Structure 1
Amino acid sequence: MKVLVATYGSRGDVQPYVALGKGLQAAGHEVIVATSERFRDFVVAHGLPYGFLSDKLLAIIDTDLGRTLMETTDNLFQVARRLVGMARQVGPLQRTLVRDGWVVAKSAAPDLIVFHPKVFGGPHYAEKLGVPAVLALPIPLFVPTAARPSMGFPDLNLGGRYNRATYVLTEKVMEWSIRGHVRRWRTEQGLVPHDHCSILKTPHGRPLPVLHAVSRHVVPRPPDWPDQAMMTGYWFLDQADRWRPPAELKRFLDSGPPPVYVGFGSMAGRSPARMGRIVMEALAKAGVRGVVATGWGGVRLERPSSSVMVIDQVPHDWILPRVAAAVHHGGAGTVAATLRAGVPSVVVPFFGDQPFWGKRVHALGAAARPIPRKRLTAAGLAAAIREVLDDPGFLRRAQELGEKIRRERGVENAVQAVEKLLHQL
């Protein structure tokens, strides 16, 4: 079987799909991974053929507007105004993304397309090629349930009707943002330009199989989900065995007690230097050593101290088992990695699904109460770090979850689900 795995976004949107691609490849299938050009070397380094998708849409994150959108705000008018401003830039790039994805799909001639929702052309490419498609999600965002509201909506305790309505609205917003681009592409390809563009259905209205790369131990599977919505467990890409740490990092870790890891991934707010000052002061106030990963520039340390090691990036599965706690943004992949390592967290959510994950790991007893980025202070961060280090309950609950997650074998479950779906369709 030849499988096209198509994904787009930050490292957290790519790494799990590379893990799935490797799992499919190990099971004897031919795989190509299509994603942003900035991850070309990452895909190829893991032995997978690469399919080109333009990097320009992601590059907006590096602009002043993109950084501003990562600054959380309680003013809904400001949020709406910023989104409209970004939409004017994003539209043409979304059209490019649809066309890039089709070039890859047509060339790959797959038997099956597994797609991230940001590669929203996936089911339409599948229709044109006459093959099935599977929606793959790193977060439980679209499939409606009465159990809880969709991410980004407040839990107002209004019951199942409200909760389900939030998923419908989430999908409608997605549909609104992509409908025109999909219609234009379908017309160009001689396909019927449907008025609807549901991410959960084929262009002809049949439900799509949905794989969630999420652990049921972290987010229980809702009892009212349809059978085609599956929760496989996390898709981890293990890199510890092949990654060689810099000698300086190894010396630092060996020279004292386990440090606190600090990393905000691809989150890059407007003031990385200010974030760096807060982090340095907090580590000093908490009386702990630190390993700070600068990532895509979310943190800039102007005056590192001897008790803090600064590194560009480091595989989570290598560093997290070697630290006492982790301070991070609450991205789905980082949450999964910290829990698997059995490490307690302090979550500083920026936007999107991150507040949900911060609240969730706190509710599970594996993290301090989340600190929204705009309310972050050195004193508050230091207090949260000391809380998770001084209360052994945080470590115990993180370790208990880690044991359960390590037994799940999410990639294997996903590969089996894909193979079963292909035989059924």
Structure 2
Amino acid sequence: MILIGVFDIASWWAIVIAFQVVVISTYYFWNKKKSKTYDPLCNGKAIEWNPIPIVEHDVTVEEPPVMGRIDENVLNVGSSSFLALDKEESIMDDALKSLEKYGVGSCGPRGFYGTIDVHLELEERLAKFLEVEETCVYSYGFSTIASAIPSYSKKKDIIFADECVWFAIQKGLDASRSTIRFFKHNDMDHLEKLLEEAQKKKELNPRRRAFIVAEGIYFNTGEMCPLKRLVQLARKYKLRIILDESLTIGVLGKNGRGLTEHLGVPREEIDLIVGSLEHSFATIGGFCAGTHFIVEHQRLSGLGYCFSASLPPMLTQAAISALNVIEGKPSIFQELSDNSKKLNRALSQLKHYKFRGDEASPIKHIYLKKDDLTDRLKHSYLRNITNYCLEKGVAMTLAAYIRDVEINCPEPSIRLTSSRKLTDDTISLICSLLDEAYEKVGPKPELQPV
């Protein structure tokens, strides 16, 4: 009897506890449901929310012209194939043979199953050509420098960079999360001043890595880096140098080895050389060159190397074949240099434009002389000028920038490129057509500034 009484009491307690659980759960979920519809700060009234669109519907976006394939009869001075190897028959034949042998590629990263014998051959050939211990090949030129910088420089480190570095370097600086100090373009005195200030503030110390980031020839200005002075400052203040030679390897130097060969700077003075296969080599991809210790580090920490599909074998073979041409015909660099100097002299005679670019640089930027126009108007007139030139048989490139994102965004310009295939007649045609286009579709003298 006593046991039966105990079980009866326990069952009643179970019923009471279960009832309490049901009531409390119902109350909790009911209030949670109401909170989604009503805000207590609004006195229980339903919230009305009309989101503002991110982009206004009446915004007009200026679309770039769809050019399609450049016809053989059109003179292309917008392409950065400085050595004109994009039309080399031997390179195209080798690329097609590689396509038949390997297909389009494994679509896997280098560290997994994306490495093929042509990748290893290209890395070996590039290291031998540049006279360095080792190179590693990336599948995209933009991601090469954007991955290389954050693979070495981290959050607690400091980087001194030229204010005119191109967008890929800017993205690498952002990804590093390091402290960034920008010095005036090619102004080594200003850089030394920043280094002195950093040293006084003890921002330069043995526990903190410090880097200088520069370009051999700056993509946004066409001007050459004063590398000798840069190396002197780096050694004086104990900084490492990351040099982007995308526009100088295959362009400058007796054998096309870049700015270091051109200026006689020992290769070991540069801690990391970054290059692109998308200009003189007329294919796709990029590479980093240096000592075994430095380059090997990227194979585990370079995001573009670790997580991107490897360079397709066909394009890798195209780079090897282009390297064969470059090593077999060193005279092509002198041809390119002569044409760059001729183009420089011709551009200095333009009536309505000013230009920027080193004499030996294959990149030239053309600006309007009329300074009382907004950047938007300048961009519009330069687009009209490039369209007019295209109709007349000369293809030019309007430099494109992300105005609200890029640091120290450059003035609108036409980016002209020199190549070894230019002649005196074609250079004269380019300059006369630019002045003709200005008079036809450029700003008029009576135009008032906006």
TM-score (norm 1): 0.23
Q: Which has the larger radius of gyration?
A: 2
TM-score (norm 2): 0.22
Identify the structure with bigger relative contact order (alpha carbons < 8 Å, sequence gap 6+).
Answer: 2
